[in-house]
Amino acid sequence: MTVDPGVPVATVATPSIDNHPNRICDVCGVVDRGPRHQVGYTPGTVPVNVAQIKSVIANPDLTDDEKASISADIADTELQLRHMDCCTNVGCPDGSCDLIPNGMTQQEILTKIVTEPVQDQFIALQEAKNAAIIATTAAEGA
């Protein structure tokens, strides 16, 4: 690969999924270190899955800090954390997860979204969606 010396090239180290926090997926219920699409709702919208919290607390592979933060995420009624492939399966609200091809491992998805230009597309899609939500919320509050 040749690089034009006049153009700065951002070098992004390929991230290791091992450095990412263990989190719940609110779609499939799996706890792992894969990237998540965080989908916001109005408070009280997302039901609290008590059985899921119990199984997290009982999981011997998680530290106490992990159990606390994962339980807090499950109990959060205005935020869903979704594996990006799970998000596509249930209908990604802004379409960003639809940019991830089927069948990738969580490490492959993380590498793709951090090191490829697809990152800019995600940000554009998610910012557009957020702007729409803010506009809607402002209109409802008026």
Q: State the residues that interact with Zn ion by CB under 5 A.
A: 25, 27-28, 37, 83, 86-87, 92, 97
Residue closer to Zn ion by CB (options 83, 111) is 83
Counting every residue written for the chain, the total comes to 142
Smallest distance from Zn ion to CB 37, Å: 3
Shortest Å distance, C-beta 60 to Zn ion: 21
- Contact residues for 64 (Cβ-Cβ < 8 A; gap 6+): none
Tell how strand 31-32 and strand 23-24 pair up. Answer: antiparallel
Q: Could you give the CA distance from residue 100 to residue 105 in angstroms, rounded to a whole number? A: 11
Question: Minimal distance in Å, beta carbon 67 to Zn ion?
Answer: 19
Report the candidate in 65, 100, 68, 66 with the shortest Cα–Cα distance to residue 82.
100
- Select 10 or 51, whichever has its Cβ closest to Zn ion: 51
Q: Which is nearer to Zn ion, 71 or 93 (CB)?
A: 93
Nearer to Zn ion, 8 or 103 (CB): 103
